[in-house]
Structure 1
């Protein structure tokens, strides 16, 4: 990832690290929002732990999507 600052190209470790932190910050917050909405709104805070590893026939097995 290359960043331009005024007239020079930033190739320093600090520039790359800042880009990495920004990307991580944006990705993790989006991922956490999806998980929290799924757990608290769609599942209403309940989770059956035994069915998480059951596989076929379990409560969380694929059921043809939303529709």
Structure 2
């Protein structure tokens, strides 16, 4: 696969992961800091961790699948 195609795919997916992660963090961190109960604090902490892991894990998985598809 051509280097520039890989570079463009990487930049595009990384930008989507960055934007999605930023706004997810901003939203869930606001909920977390305004939470009044221990259940809310723990729940929003787990939700924040899981959401960011899903965004970044899914982005890297998508990038790998696209690379594999384009090389075959």
Report the TM-score when normalising by structure 1.
0.48
The structure with the greater share of residues assigned to helix is 2
Question: Is the radius of gyration larger for structure 1 or structure 2?
Answer: 1
Q: RCO higher in 1 or 2 (8 Å CA, sep ≥ 6)?
A: 2
Report the TM-score when normalising by structure 2.
0.45
